[in-house]
């Protein structure tokens, strides 16, 4: 018995010594390894190791329990406090996370890195994820068309950002499309069909993923596949329906009709989604004198906005081409060109500046002014990172413009997971965001710098980026409250349409939100082509526990595909008192944070046209995703498409570690820094190698 007891205490003493290597004093310095260890440190070490492993498996509640146990043995250990804060943050309990991080900070731990994390998370909780729409932009970077005497492109006239962070630039002078990444490196170059492009003026990503290019001198439109390879022409030269002379800018509406500003004919030409001509508009009609020099065009809902460079104004039409009003009066602009609709406003390029115009009131706000040097800003298009990409035709440069607050705040970097199961080969997942939770997409290996104890890791390699994924895991929550009993057919058709739009890829889950939520189905989406509510085990009830259903759905998606989302099918409003979705167990902020902190999008398919309940509306507004009416004209095919195209700032890298594991009991530190143009961010964490 004494021999066994001696072995146990020997093991505990050794574990305590290992844990003490990362214990810090009040100044945040490492305690000398020859300090006498205690039994509490040994027990804390084991609980801490289990907590770290549970965290990296996505079991955040289990990790919290383990870290709480470790903290009970060592109440003032800063490393445990830091990790406990991380686990609470991932579990959506940001208030608790801030409390533990503040305790560690007050102990002198973490320095500026921890202070910055606390500041960002606190700011998000107070102001939400939205940023001020009317905020000036400043140059975050510039990509010149010429480098060290070598021509890269000439005459950038339009830009089309992609959801993976790259951007297509239409080069007017060199008759080509150039694909640039976030660092300005040329990834691809396309010259069109055999006879080439003839002065490309605009480029548009269509709803089906294909690209459309207007050829100003060619008097035609070139349709390209999703990889920018030529398929066919749309339109011919002339003045009839379906004919163009000097086409400039392009837009598409929610019914996928294509709008082209036809400068030579002083009108707007309209084609259907297959490229067949429909009609044209913009001529003299009643009190409207007609378009004189149509340039930029933007379409939103039922409204079409057209800029006129001869009149210096913007006109508003309906989608049938009927003149509505003069949104901005004549001579407001010198020479307006491209228009883009973004966040309720129009982005207008005018000579040497980029201006925001409120689409309802016509109020102006100057976003960007490129200076007094010769300049001709022709296009400004928002990208997935919240920047505005600007083409300057005269200066032959492409600018990346960011909000001033983002440039000052830097990047928010989080090491999400570390897989050391094949140690010394280690795989790391990092999430990169700005201060307002917007993911940063399009980073390359050159943007990352990983170190162990401040020493660079060896054989660093980028394995992939979640933004490149073309499928998603979706969980559909079906509201089983009495409110929805009259919508049986609509619910069934919605589930079938969502399942069909997944194209047989990814995993589809069905969760019933009744009095007690339950998982009804997990499997391939193409197996639900004949989905019926009769197959559900959960019966309708007076109320549906929406908070429990959302939490259940989120738990199942933690370790799912990196692109993942929840779709709630509900009436969304109270028709009978007491019959509704309920939020009683989890508060709304916790639910929203849980989904946001784990990259889970949330959308609602609404079965009626009433206003959403206040609680549900709050969750929708606080997360990524959208609201879709079940009878919307374009159908529900975009629900999954929009989730797949949601920006994801998650990256996976691998390296070979040089650290000593001490048979898997040493806590191995890792630091990660991310650089993009003139912004940067940093995170520090650690992990354990497998026990041996």
The whole-model pTM stands at 0.87
Average pLDDT score over residue span 515-540: 94
The reported pLDDT for the residue numbered 581 is: 86
Report d(CA 182, CA 386) in Å as an integer: 13
The reported pLDDT for the residue numbered 573 is: 65
The reported pLDDT for the residue numbered 407 is: 76
The reported pLDDT for the residue numbered 5 is: 38
Please, what is the end-to-end C-alpha distance for the chain in angstroms?
Answer: 26
pLDDT at 257 over 60: yes
Q: How does the average pLDDT of the chain come out, rounded?
A: 90
Residue-wise pLDDT tens digits, 426-435: 999 999 999 8
Report d(CA 598, CA 117) in Å as an integer: 17
Report d(CA 104, CA 80) in Å as an integer: 9
Contact between residue 509 and residue 553 where contact means Cβ atoms under 8 Å apart: yes
Report d(CA 513, CA 545) in Å as an integer: 6
pLDDT at 101 over 90: yes
Which of 315-324, 361-370, 422-431, 559-568 comes out lowest in average pLDDT?
361-370
Report d(CA 406, CA 15) in Å as an integer: 44
Q: Tell me the two tokens of residue 60.
A: 């955040």
The reported pLDDT for the residue numbered 386 is: 87
Name every residue whose Cβ is closer than 8 Å to that of residue 88 and which is 6 or more positions away in sequence.
64, 94, 96, 97, 100
Report d(CA 124, CA 316) in Å as an integer: 37
pLDDT at 15 over 90: no
Comparison of pLDDT for 10 and 593, the residue scoring more? 593
pLDDT band at 1 (very low <50, low <70, confident <90, very high): very low
pLDDT band at 579 (very low <50, low <70, confident <90, very high): low
Report d(CA 646, CA 439) in Å as an integer: 9
**Residue 379, number of CB atoms within 10 A of its CB:** 30
Q: Tell me the two tokens of residue 128.
A: 């939400």
Average pLDDT score over residue span 372-388: 90
Average pLDDT score over residue span 328-353: 94
The reported pLDDT for the residue numbered 613 is: 87
Q: Tell me the two tokens of residue 23.
A: 């214990």
pLDDT band at 132 (very low <50, low <70, confident <90, very high): low
Helix (H, G, I), strand (E, B) or coil at 644: helix
pLDDT band at 280 (very low <50, low <70, confident <90, very high): very high
- Look up residue 374 and give its DSSP letter: S
Contact between residue 57 and residue 30 where contact means Cβ atoms under 8 Å apart: no
pLDDT band at 11 (very low <50, low <70, confident <90, very high): very low
pLDDT band at 667 (very low <50, low <70, confident <90, very high): very high
The reported pLDDT for the residue numbered 184 is: 93
pLDDT band at 23 (very low <50, low <70, confident <90, very high): very low
Residue-wise pLDDT tens digits, 534-550: 999 999 999 899 999 99
Residue-wise pLDDT tens digits, 283-313: 998 889 999 999 999 999 899 999 999 999 9
Residue-wise pLDDT tens digits, 147-165: 888 899 999 999 999 988 9
The reported pLDDT for the residue numbered 133 is: 58
């Amino acid at each position: 018995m004494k021999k066994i007891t001696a072995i146990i205490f020997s093991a505990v003493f050794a574990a305590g010594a290992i844990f003490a290597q990362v214990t810090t004093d009040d100044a945040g310095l490492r305690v000398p390894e020859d300090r006498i260890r205690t039994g509490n440190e040994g027990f804390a070490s084991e609980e801490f190791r289990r907590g770290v492993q549970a965290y990296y498996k996505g079991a955040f509640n289990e990790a919290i329990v383990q870290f709480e146990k470790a903290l009970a043995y060592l109440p003032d250990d800063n490393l445990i406090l830091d990790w406990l804060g991380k686990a609470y943050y991932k579990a959506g309990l940001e208030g608790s996370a801030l409390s533990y991080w503040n305790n560690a900070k007050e102990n002198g731990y973490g320095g500026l890195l921890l202070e910055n994390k606390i500041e960002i998370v606190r700011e998000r909780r107070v102001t939400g994820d939205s940023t001020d729409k009317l905020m000036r932009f400043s140059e975050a970077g510039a990509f010149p068309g010429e480098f060290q005497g070598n021509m890269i492109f000439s005459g950038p006239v339009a830009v089309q950002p992609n959801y993976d962070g790259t951007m297509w630039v239409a080069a007017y002078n060199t008759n080509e499309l150039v694909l640039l990444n976030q660092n300005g490196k040329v990834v691809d170059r396309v010259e069109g069909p055999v006879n080439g492009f003839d002065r490309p003026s605009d480029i548009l990503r269509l709803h089906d993923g294909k690209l459309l290019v207007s050829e100003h001198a060619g008097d035609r439109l070139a349709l390209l596949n999703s990889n920018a390879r030529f398929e066919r022409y749309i339109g011919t030269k002339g003045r009839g329906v379906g004919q163009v002379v000097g086409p400039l800018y392009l837009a598409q509406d929610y019914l996928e009709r294509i709008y082209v500003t036809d400068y030579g004919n002083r009108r707007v030409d309209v084609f259907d989604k297959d490229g067949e001509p429909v009609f044209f508009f913009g001529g003299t009609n009643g009190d409207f004198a007609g378009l004189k020099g149509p340039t930029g065009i933007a379409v939103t809902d039922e409204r079409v906005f057209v800029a006129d460079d001869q009149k210096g104004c913007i006109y508003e039409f309906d989608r049938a081409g009927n003149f509505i009003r003069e949104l901005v009066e004549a001579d407001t602009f010198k020479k307006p060109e491209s228009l883009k609709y973004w966040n309720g406003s129009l982005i207008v390029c005018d000579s040497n500046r980029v201006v925001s115009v409120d689409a309802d009131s016509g109020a102006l706000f100057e976003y960007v002014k490129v200076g007094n040097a010769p300049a001709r800003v022709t296009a400004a298009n928002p990208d997935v990172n919240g920047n505005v990409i600007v083409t300057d035709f005269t200066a032959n440069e492409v600018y990346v413009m960011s909000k001033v607050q983002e440039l000052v705040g830097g990047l928010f970097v989080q090491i999400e997971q570390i897989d050391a199961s094949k140690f010394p080969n280690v795989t790391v997942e990092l999430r990169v965001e700005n201060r307002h939770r917007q993911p940063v997409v399009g980073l390359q290996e050159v943007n990352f710098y990983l170190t162990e104890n401040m020493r660079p890791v060896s054989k660093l390699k980028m394995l992939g980026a979640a933004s490149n994924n073309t499928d998603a895991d979706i969980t559909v929550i079906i509201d089983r409250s009495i409110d929805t009993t009259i919508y049986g057919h609509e619910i069934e058709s919605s589930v079938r349409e969502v399942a069909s739009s997944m194209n047989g890829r990814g995993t589809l889950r069905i969760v019933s939100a009744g009095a007690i939520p339950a998982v009804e189905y997990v499997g391939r989406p193409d197996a639900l082509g004949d989905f019926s509510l009769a197959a559900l085990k959960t019966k309708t009830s007076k109320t549906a526990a929406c908070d429990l259903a959302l939490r259940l759905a989120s738990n199942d998606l933690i370790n799912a595909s990196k692109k993942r989302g929840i779709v709630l099918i509900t009436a969304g409003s109270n028709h009978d008192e007491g019959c509704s979705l309920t939020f009683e167990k989890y508060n709304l902020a916790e639910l929203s944070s849980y989904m946001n902190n784990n990259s889970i999008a949330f959308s609602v398919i609404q079965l009626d046209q009433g206003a959403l309940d206040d609680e549900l509306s709050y969750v929708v507004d606080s997360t990524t995703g959208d609201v879709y009416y079940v009878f919307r004209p374009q159908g529900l095919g975009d629900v999954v498409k929009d989730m797949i195209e949601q920006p994801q700032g998650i990256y996976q890298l691998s390296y070979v570690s040089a650290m000593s594991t001490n048979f898997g009991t040493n806590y191995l530190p890792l630091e990660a820094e991310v650089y993009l143009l003139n912004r940067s961010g940093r995170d520090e964490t650690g992990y354990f190698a497998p026990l041996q």
